[in-house]
Amino acid sequence: MSVALLWVVSPCDVSNGTSFMESVREGNRFFDSSRHRNLVSNERINRGGGKQTNNGRKFSVRSAILATPSGERTMTSEQMVYDVVLRQAALVKRQLRSTNEFEVKPDIPIPGNLGLLSEAYAMCGEVCAEYAKTFNLGTMLMTPERRRAIWAIYVWCRRTDELVDGPNASYITPAALDKWENRLEDVFNGRPFDMLDGALSDTVSNFPVDIQPFRDMIEGMRMDLRKSRYKNFDELYLYCYYVAGTVGLMSVPIMGIAPESKATTESVYNAALALGIANQLTNILRDVGEDARRGRVYLPQDELAQAGLSDEDMFAGRVTDKWRIFMKKQIHRARKFFDEAEKGVIELSSASRFPVWASLVLYRKILDEIEANDYNNFTKRAYVSKSKKLIALPIAYAKSLVPPTKTVSLQR
């Protein structure tokens, strides 16, 4: 299942052959796509002593399902995820208190090559420009430091998603994901494996980014390996958080909150989470047919049953009145998450709002296209045409110019 990243294009193939997979399984090297082949160093990059930062601290309890000894959950997915939101917001608050005014530190050169770090960021920018054209255009309005940091996070998310959703996904095992998570720990501790890792390592040392959302995204990849059905929306919500809501929590520290915003930090992060959930729900509704052909159903089983539907209806691809009624409810839910997200986008730093508004506006229009296709998401893929994008993007830009509200308007 493709990760619903905070940008406006769906992930597509990045890795080349089995080399990327081998870099995870055997720890040897990373090759990018054919266009970027051999752009990264074959040797491990060591930035020195590997200073432990607040970013790299380990939590004693991972953001995972809490259970009683009998195996029953003690809190809902939404409650559990909000705990991560609070921790990320607290990290940002500590950073702001310690610096009074948020500043981005200058580049930390990698020993042995003063230009290596700049080259690493440039490589991230090339990948973003190739596979996320509209979002990349929006980042041009951001400050150089924030733009490069977003590129670095984008590339890490792509690489992570490709592990289980790319052309070589069959090679990936839980052990390989464990190695990828160990590699993530090294990145946050200042010990990147390759140049793309080096860009992310520099990013998390300069911005108040918490490691937990990154860990949770890897947990979402683990879930994709072992799970192809979701009993109810609570389970689906957790999956959507893992693979997409995490992106919002990673990105807000980079995007920044407008100095004039009166909204609470927690509420802005909660809105970013809502955008990730909305994007992933939209992906799920768009890709019902494609997922069914892979034997996967990312729709709440209890709600399907209540609508008089089953997995067999997914596999048969029947567009019936029952299906249309069911889809209307699912689309309504996704739009409610988009509505919640809109409340937070306006509170972001002015230079960061446009790419996020573009993502929100264009992804939301996919729901309109599903409706225009008479809810046939089995054989018709809903997409926003170039002409509609050209109409929508000026609207997104106009929205990005609206300043934050002068009163506290975001509540959990």
**CATH (domain of 169):** 1.10.600.10
Question: Same domain, yes or no, for 258 and 131?
Answer: no
Residue 26 lies in a domain: no
Of 22 and 271, more confident: 271
The reply to whether 100 and 133 lie within a common domain is no
Residues 113 and 99 in one domain: no
Instruction: Examine the fold and report which residue of 156, 185, 210 is the final residue of a domain before the chain moves on.
Output: 210
Task: Of 124-133, 223-232, 325-334, give the lowest mean pLDDT range.
Answer: 124-133
Residue 17 makes CB contacts below 8 A (sequence gap 6+) with 31, 168
Alpha-carbon gap, residue 49 to 330, rounded angstroms: 50
Identify the domain containing residue 296 by its residue range. 76-105+227-403
Residue-level pLDDT at 117? 87
The answer to whether residues 204 and 187 touch, using CB atoms and an 8 Å cutoff, is yes
Tokens of 146: 């924030």
327, part of any domain:
yes
Question: Rounded to an integer, what is the distance from CA 377 to the centroid of its chain?
Answer: 23
Do both 258 and 280 map to the same domain?
yes
Same domain as 233, residue 85? yes
Do residues 154 and 190 share a domain?
yes
Give pTM, 2 decimals: 0.78
Mean pLDDT for the stretch of residues 184-191 = 94
pLDDT-based confidence at 4, cuts 50/70/90?
Answer: low
pLDDT of residue 98: 54
Q: Is 191 contained in some domain?
A: yes
pLDDT in tens, 385-410: 999 999 999 999 999 999 997 655 55
Average pLDDT over every residue of 73-100:
69
22 domain residue, yes or no: no
| One domain for residues 345 and 383 | yes
Instruction: Give me the helices (H) in 141-255, please.
Output: 144-165, 174-188, 195-206, 212-226, 233-240, 246-255
Matching residue, tokens 């009998």: 70
Query: Is the pLDDT reported for residue 68 higher than 90?
Result: no
Q: Which pair of structure tokens corresponds to residue 138? A: 């929006």
E runs forming strands in 90-152: none
177 and 97 both lie in a single domain = no
Question: Lowest-confidence range among 26-40, 86-100, 254-268, 335-349?
Answer: 26-40
Q: Tell me, yes or no, whether 151 and 285 share the same domain.
A: no
Among 150, 181, 210, give the residue marking a domain's end: 210
Rounded-to-integer distance, Cα 393 and Cα 135, Å: 11
Q: How confident is the model at residue 168 (pLDDT cuts 50, 70, 90)?
A: confident
List the structure tokens of 227: 């799970």
Is residue 357 located within the same domain as residue 345?
A: yes
pLDDT over 60 at 59, yes or no = no
SS3 230: strand
- Tell me, yes or no, whether 141 and 242 share the same domain: no
- What band does 165 get if pLDDT is binned at 50, 70 and 90? confident
Distance CA 203, CA 313 (A): 46
- Tally of structural domains, the chain: 2
Within-domain flag for 172: yes
Query: CA–CA separation, 14 vs 162, rounded Å?
Result: 7
User: Could you tell me if residue 23 is inside a domain?
Assistant: no
User: Based on the domain organization, do 89 and 128 belong to the same domain?
Assistant: no
